[in-house]
Structure 1
Amino acid sequence: MIRLALLLICLAWLGPGRAAAQGTASLVADRVSVDEGGRLVASGGVEVFYDGTRLTADSVTYSRDGDRLAIEGPILIEQPDGTILTAEAASLDPRIESGILRSARLVLERQLQLAAARIDRIDGRYTALTGAAATACQVCAGRAPLWEIRADRVIHDEVDRQLYFENAQFRIRGLPVLWVPAMRLPDPTVTRATGLLVPSVTTNDLLGFGVRLPYFVALGPRRDLTLTPFLATETTTVEGRYRQTWRSGALTVEGAASRDSVRPGGPRGYVFADGRWALEDGQSILFQLQSVTDRTYLDEYGYSDLDRLSTGLRYTRVREDSLLSTDATYYRTLRRGEVQGALPPLVARAVYERRRPTGPLVLTYGARAESFRRTEDAAGPTGRDVARLGAFADLRGETVLGPGLVLSGAGSVDLGAYAISDDPAFEDLPLRATPGALVTLRWPLIRREAGGAAQTLEPFVAAAWSRTLGADVPNEDSAIVEFDETNIDALTRYPGQDAREDGARLSFGLTWTRTAPSGSALALTFGRILREEAEPFTLSSGLDGLASDWLLAARADLPAGLTARARAIVDNEGQFDKTEARIDWQTSSLALGATYLFLPQEPPEGRLDRIAEWAVDARWQVSPVWSLSLDARYDLARDEPVETGIGLGWQSECVEVDVSLSRSYTSGETDPVTDLGLAVNLRGFSAGDGLAVPPGRCDG
């Protein structure tokens, strides 16, 4: 069949004035003619292209007198924004901005489809559907969709991108379950719109059966508010979240207020806030607020598992060669048996640091000030207040010798003046100075394999010396010391300034790595520290005595998404003092992780009992429709579970269902707490909610 292609410049049949204003249309058809009445008739595979809109139909008849297009279907109209219209017959203006479509269907973002006996196009902005049914589900002949909304009238506002329903019924498999006289929903192109979000249902041993009804309020392009009434058998709660962004920062505030039967007699609640702002010249401000009415509220409601809260403000200025940082923080403990006033709850710090290269060496120097204030009215460690003012300097350099030996060295000095009150065990105004030096020698040996992999064997030895001169001071900032592969050859293992290692030390060890062209990598490190003088390290740190325990560390990054990390402190008898290990396996359908942790009893570090536990978390996308998640923690020391949880997800092209079941053995004061949750999300009314699974088959 011969096809005729006609280019209608500026819609010539509409007149030159209107054509100039509207642009160019193209028409392709098997047959094009002008009848006796002066009407343009196109038939047989008609296609019209106009301003990004494509129309296909069996026949199109244009009448200049009425300025109308009479179209016979089946009709398909595809608009530039992705909107699709189908119909059996239509009467439209040439710009498809106004008119009527009969036995029509409107498809938005290839997600939400609305069928109607009649569709009216009004002023190029509104699409009014009479006798409409809306769904995102597969529609099959003789069978009602999984869910649909039927309404006497639906109006789609293309400018505001909203859908207005009149006299609407929500149906599940054709059965009416909810009637709403009028409602408004965003169309799928809207990213942020005021309205009701996905409700969720929970049942909890403490709070009973409840439902959450989140309502989102778009306050502007950079501000929003979410209010969530939570109504349950044992509580009435209102949750809230406020967010705002600026070009230079962001603020988030969230919280909740409750009245419940768990702790009757008064309101309960919490407020968390985080803010950050980037200023000019490398400056930034960070703000954090964490507050709660009582110790168990966050855990009982599942908002957070924090056992210490912090509220503070930090200012930082970073330049190419300098750093200035100040912060003040208030801490609050939620731990059982921990005294609030003895933390210390008030901590303030300020540090200025500058870095200057001087030939092959790098000089770093600066000053710092810190204050630890307790509110406990007592003499001794529980009521002691400490302020410190100090200065420091550090000079480092590195060079390569002979057969690839890497020699590095460092010298440092730290000066400090203290003000100590409410503790007669220390002088009121002690002074201290700590000079130190470090020399490290490494010899990296590289071997190339035939397949392209590279092995590196790097033995190392480090000699260090330092001496603390002056009066004793309390150890406020180095109570917990870690021994790992990052500090085995450091000048000191103490993380702060109040405690420093004295005398001479010798660190030695070996690191082996293997890297393959495929990207897989293996690494193993072990080492030990010998010292001239014993330090008051805790037994579990592995650093006590004149010879430390052995440090063993390993990591593996293997193909197929498998990674592993492990670290252990092993004494001379082969006993493990500290052990931690983590393994992860991630594929396109599976994410699996497992963790093991062992920490021996250590009262100076706040551990009255040993900690030994394993944890596992997994998510398995069983199929495009089904997903399964699992998480669990087990206390090996007490031989009892800590928490367990399982989640089951099901999704189709038009609905998502998530069911979760969790049990916490630590949330309740005496008994475990079980929580069951259900969330159902209807697809088609949210942006970016594309098809995660293909539509079902009508013959299935």
Structure 2
Amino acid sequence: MTLTEAQNTVVVADSGALDRELTNGILRGARIVMQDQLQLSANQMRRTDARFNQLYKASVTSCRVCESGRPPLWQIRAERMIHDQQERQLYFQNAQLRVLGTPVFYLPRLRMPDPTLERATGFLSPELVTSSLLGTGVRAPYFIRIDDHRDLTVAPFLATDSRRLELRYRQAFRRGEIEFNGAISDDDFSAEDTRGYLFGQGRFELPQDFILRFNIELTSDDTFLLDHDFSDKDRLQNELSVERARRDEFIRGAITHFNSLRVGESNATLPSRVGNVEYERRFFPSRLGGEVRFSAVAHGHARRSDLVTDGPDQDRFADGRDVSRFTTSLDWRRNWVLPAGLLANVETGLTLDHFEISQIGTTADDQATELTPSAAFRLRWPFMKTAVSGVTHVIEPVVQLAWSGGSNPDIPQDESTAIEFDEGNLFNISRFNAPDRRERGYSGAYGISYARFDPSGWEGRLAVGQVIRDERLRESTGTPTFTKSSGLRDQTSDLLVAGQYRNATGLTVTARGLFDEIFDATKAEARASWQNDRTNIGATYIWLAEDPREGRNSTVAEWAIEGNYRFARHWTASAEWRYDASTDRSVRAGAGLTYTNECVDITLSVSRRFTSSTILEPETNIGFTVALRGFSAATQDKSFTRTCRN
């Protein structure tokens, strides 16, 4: 006899007797299949009040059970088991966990959720960890469902050289959500008695379409996050912001605090306290045509240091300087379609920048005001051809002439310190990312892009561009305004080359580089990835020339490879490797092996961090995790399910 119930539950029995309402009765040789993944079987099942199913001499497993007579990979045997269909819980009495029929663990009482319950209080999968730094230990997370909108996860970790307690708290509100992750530890290898960290984030919807966000990142010392493998961040950011984005308007206000964990950086002389208020609005005047944009920004950053003299970096400005800035601009942009498909764009605007600097030192101005008019004219001429085979070619040459007036004031360059020259700003009037520096005078930019689209599923793109100025930009001291490796230092910029290839098999290759007049690379990066049903592999290479002004006293060349490959139906291998080619040494390496079927996940992993410093030691970690599948409301991947052989 077969009884089909709600929640995708099917009851099969050899024989039985039920009342007319099917709420009470006895079934013999009963088997319950829940969510097509968890199987409960018993010699006899008593059904009462259409809620409780009491199973005697019961067995529970999510493994495929075949008629060969072999026991399942794992099962829970119990003298008595009660399934509460209303609370969606399974209660076991005198339970045994058996692996291939052999008892390995005994519990007089055991409670577990059934697969239809999404969130339930109980233990999560434990993890065995062996670390050269932490020692050998066990991590056993426990999930606490407080109510429908809140939960807490407590994860104690006990090792030979470390005792740690991890906490995660989540709460959902009607118009927002928060999440906090933290840990506190007592480590034998650290001089600190107590160490810990706290990361938190939240998002709330306010009236008038405003969004409130906060982000908290705190740690007790510079190495705790790396020692316990919580994060590889070396600069922490705490921020409170309110913003609103509409079709023609953007408003944002934020207060940010930065904390550097890098060796050699002093938080006292870094601009760690930052405030920003931004407003931008666009209009579409009918008589003038085009688009008008108005923007206003108030910015300030401060250092904890009160030094009014320069430190060892010798940048002319005091290491304790604080800067306030107000910027407002009005721009007009318009596009035209000319004969023969030629596309024209005109952009003109006027910008006002005002700076107030305290503790500036004796070699620069403590305030400055600059009015910057600008104009640019751009022409694009796209060509497209579709062949008989269906292949489409698109070629688009672009040329631009731009002018920007005024001059850069003699103030510290605090904001425009990380300049990237790429396809995104090739045709900008100024390629600095903040108003404390702007490109001045006449400049021209040209580029050409080519794209090919094949019906077979692959496509390729290539873009080349360059910037030419009437003169080389310099500071008041005579030094070049742009850094050596920015690609924009000379009167004629480095050649920008970027390309991408993608095919139907999941292979994607992207590359970008800056090349000087003899075609030597200044900066280069490339990434290749291959993703399909069985493979997810990616490799990245980056090369940056030596440039002390960008904080690099030596050349950076690094490989990073990561991915996983499902080489058999139930087996997946994973690996990662970071290699510093400039110093010819590995930075990090790791490998893992996972066995997965319909009822179990077994993962063995090993990783090694090779980096060392005055405060950091190399570390090796080995992890082993076993997770029983079938007690989850999530849909399982059926490709891992085993089949029975005749």
What TM-score bracket applies, with the shorter chain setting the length? over 0.9
Q: Are residue 167 (structure 1) and residue 94 (structure 2) matched? A: yes
Give the alignment partner of residue 557 of structure 2, picking from 596, 612, 632: 612
Aligned positions of 1:32-47 closer than 5 A: none
Residue 517 (structure 2) aligns with: 572
The answer to whether the 8 Å contact 2:130/2:136 transfers is yes
How far does residue 639 in structure 1 lie from its aligned partner after superposition? 0.5
Q: Are residue 259 (structure 1) and residue 186 (structure 2) matched? A: yes
Q: Name whichever of 527-536 and 87-96 sits farther off.
A: 87-96
Give the alignment partner of residue 675 of structure 1, picking from 581, 602, 621: 621
Return closer, same or farther for 1:528/1:682 CA change in 2, 3 Å cut-off. Answer: same
Return closer, same or farther for 1:491/1:699 CA change in 2, 3 Å cut-off. Answer: closer
Residue 221 (structure 1) aligns with: 148
Measure the CA separation in 1 of the matches of 2:408 and 2:164.
57
Give deviations 1:490-515, integer Å, cap 9, x for gaps: 10110111100111111112111122
Give deviations 1:610-645, integer Å, cap 9, x for gaps: 110111112111222111111111110000111111
Q: Which has the higher contact order (CA 8 A, sep 6+)?
A: 2
Residue 299 (structure 2) aligns with: 370
**AA in 2 matched with 1:399:** W
Give the alignment partner of residue 625 of structure 1, picking from 570, 575, 585: 570
Measure the CA separation in 2 of the matches of 1:95 and 1:666.
69
- Alignment TM-score, normalising by the size of structure 2: 0.94
Measure the CA separation in 2 of the matches of 1:630 and 1:218.
35
Q: Are residue 347 (structure 1) and residue 268 (structure 2) matched? A: no
Return closer, same or farther for 1:420/1:194 CA change in 2, 3 Å cut-off. Answer: same
How far does residue 264 in structure 1 lie from its aligned partner after superposition? 3.4
The number of equivalent residue pairs is 626
User: Which secondary structure does the structure 2 equivalent of 1:604 belong to?
Assistant: helix
Residue 478 (structure 2) aligns with: none
Give the alignment partner of residue 511 of structure 1, picking from 437, 449, 464: 449
Residue 314 (structure 2) aligns with: none
The answer to whether the 8 Å contact 1:439/1:464 transfers is yes
Measure the CA separation in 1 of the matches of 2:492 and 2:284.
36
Measure the CA separation in 2 of the matches of 1:436 and 1:696.
68
Give the alignment partner of residue 661 of structure 1, picking from 606, 611, 621: 606
Give deviations 1:40-95, integer Å, cap 9, x for gaps: xxxxxxxxxxxxxxxxxxxxxxxxxxxxxxxxxxx332223322222222122122
Aligned positions of 1:125-164 closer than 5 A: 125-139=51-65, 140=67, 142-164=69-91
How far does residue 212 in structure 1 lie from its aligned partner after superposition? 0.9
Measure the CA separation in 1 of the matches of 2:365 and 2:334.
38
User: Which secondary structure does the structure 2 equivalent of 1:540 belong to?
Assistant: coil
The answer to whether the 8 Å contact 2:407/2:440 transfers is no
Residue 101 (structure 1) aligns with: 27
Give the alignment partner of residue 179 of structure 1, picking from 106, 112, 122: 106
Return closer, same or farther for 1:286/1:113 CA change in 2, 3 Å cut-off. Answer: same
Give deviations 1:276-295, integer Å, cap 9, x for gaps: 11223221111000000000
Q: Name whichever of 139-148 and 654-663 sits farther off.
A: 139-148
How far does residue 390 in structure 1 lie from its aligned partner after superposition? 2.3
How far does residue 211 in structure 1 lie from its aligned partner after superposition? 1.0
The answer to whether the 8 Å contact 1:312/1:327 transfers is yes
User: Which secondary structure does the structure 1 equivalent of 2:301 belong to?
Assistant: strand
User: Which secondary structure does the structure 1 equivalent of 2:27 belong to?
Assistant: strand
**AA in 1 matched with 2:359:** D
How far does residue 698 in structure 1 lie from its aligned partner after superposition? 5.6
How far does residue 518 in structure 1 lie from its aligned partner after superposition? 4.5
How far does residue 362 in structure 1 lie from its aligned partner after superposition? 0.9
Measure the CA separation in 2 of the matches of 1:574 and 1:695.
55
Return closer, same or farther for 1:699/1:559 CA change in 2, 3 Å cut-off. Answer: closer
Give the alignment partner of residue 386 of structure 1, picking from 323, 326, 330: 323
The answer to whether the 8 Å contact 1:683/1:689 transfers is no
**AA in 1 matched with 2:228:** Y
The answer to whether the 8 Å contact 1:447/1:455 transfers is yes
Measure the CA separation in 1 of the matches of 2:241 and 2:457.
40
Measure the CA separation in 1 of the matches of 2:183 and 2:425.
43
Residue 311 (structure 2) aligns with: none
Q: Are residue 407 (structure 1) and residue 352 (structure 2) matched? A: no
User: Which secondary structure does the structure 2 equivalent of 1:340 belong to?
Assistant: coil
Measure the CA separation in 2 of the matches of 1:448 and 1:495.
39
Residue 19 (structure 1) aligns with: none
**AA in 2 matched with 1:639:** D
The answer to whether the 8 Å contact 1:468/1:500 transfers is no
The answer to whether the 8 Å contact 1:667/1:673 transfers is no
The answer to whether the 8 Å contact 2:408/2:437 transfers is no
Q: Are residue 485 (structure 1) and residue 423 (structure 2) matched? A: yes
The answer to whether the 8 Å contact 1:227/1:239 transfers is yes
**AA in 2 matched with 1:568:** G
Residue 482 (structure 2) aligns with: 537
Residue 584 (structure 2) aligns with: 639
Measure the CA separation in 2 of the matches of 1:361 and 1:381.
45
Aligned positions of 1:465-476 closer than 5 A: 465-469=403-407, 471-476=409-414
How far does residue 689 in structure 1 lie from its aligned partner after superposition? 4.8
Give the alignment partner of residue 119 of structure 1, picking from 14, 36, 45: 45
Aligned positions of 1:192-271 closer than 5 A: 192-271=119-198
How far does residue 309 in structure 1 lie from its aligned partner after superposition? 0.2
Q: Which has the larger radius of gyration?
A: 1
User: Which secondary structure does the structure 1 equivalent of 2:225 belong to?
Assistant: helix
Give the alignment partner of residue 356 of structure 1, picking from 275, 283, 289: 283
Return closer, same or farther for 1:690/1:429 CA change in 2, 3 Å cut-off. Answer: closer
Q: Which runs of 5+ in 1 are unaligned?
A: 1-74
How far does residue 667 in structure 1 lie from its aligned partner after superposition? 6.5
Measure the CA separation in 2 of the matches of 1:470 and 1:639.
42
Q: Are residue 459 (structure 1) and residue 405 (structure 2) matched? A: no
The answer to whether the 8 Å contact 1:281/1:319 transfers is no
The answer to whether the 8 Å contact 1:212/1:230 transfers is yes
Give deviations 1:558-589, integer Å, cap 9, x for gaps: 22111111100001111100000111111211
The answer to whether the 8 Å contact 2:467/2:492 transfers is yes
Measure the CA separation in 2 of the matches of 1:621 and 1:445.
44
**AA in 2 matched with 1:90:** G
User: Which secondary structure does the structure 2 equivalent of 1:474 belong to?
Assistant: coil
Measure the CA separation in 1 of the matches of 2:189 and 2:219.
16
Give deviations 1:121-145, integer Å, cap 9, x for gaps: 0111000011112112233554332
Measure the CA separation in 2 of the matches of 1:548 and 1:318.
36
Residue 15 (structure 1) aligns with: none
How far does residue 253 in structure 1 lie from its aligned partner after superposition? 0.6
Q: Are residue 432 (structure 1) and residue 361 (structure 2) matched? A: no
Q: Are residue 500 (structure 1) and residue 427 (structure 2) matched? A: no
Q: Which runs of 5+ in 2 are unaligned?
A: 309-316, 474-480
User: Which secondary structure does the structure 1 equivalent of 2:485 belong to?
Assistant: helix
Measure the CA separation in 1 of the matches of 2:157 and 2:146.
22
Give the alignment partner of residue 692 of structure 1, picking from 634, 638, 644: 638
User: Which secondary structure does the structure 2 equivalent of 1:403 belong to?
Assistant: helix
Return closer, same or farther for 1:85/1:221 CA change in 2, 3 Å cut-off. Answer: same
Measure the CA separation in 2 of the matches of 1:344 and 1:122.
69
How far does residue 471 in structure 1 lie from its aligned partner after superposition? 3.7
The answer to whether the 8 Å contact 2:56/2:79 transfers is yes
Measure the CA separation in 2 of the matches of 1:621 and 1:489.
44
Give the alignment partner of residue 307 of structure 1, picking from 198, 221, 234: 234
Measure the CA separation in 2 of the matches of 1:625 and 1:574.
49
> Considering only aligned residues, what root-mean-square deviation do their CA atoms show, in Å?
1.7
Q: Are residue 317 (structure 1) and residue 317 (structure 2) matched? A: no
Measure the CA separation in 2 of the matches of 1:104 and 1:487.
69
Measure the CA separation in 1 of the matches of 2:398 and 2:192.
64
User: Which secondary structure does the structure 1 equivalent of 2:638 belong to?
Assistant: coil
Return closer, same or farther for 1:465/1:680 CA change in 2, 3 Å cut-off. Answer: same
How far does residue 333 in structure 1 lie from its aligned partner after superposition? 0.1
Residue 388 (structure 2) aligns with: 450
Residue 589 (structure 1) aligns with: 534
Measure the CA separation in 2 of the matches of 1:650 and 1:79.
33
- Alignment TM-score, normalising by the size of structure 1: 0.87
Of all paired residues, the percent bearing the same amino acid is 38
**AA in 2 matched with 1:82:** N
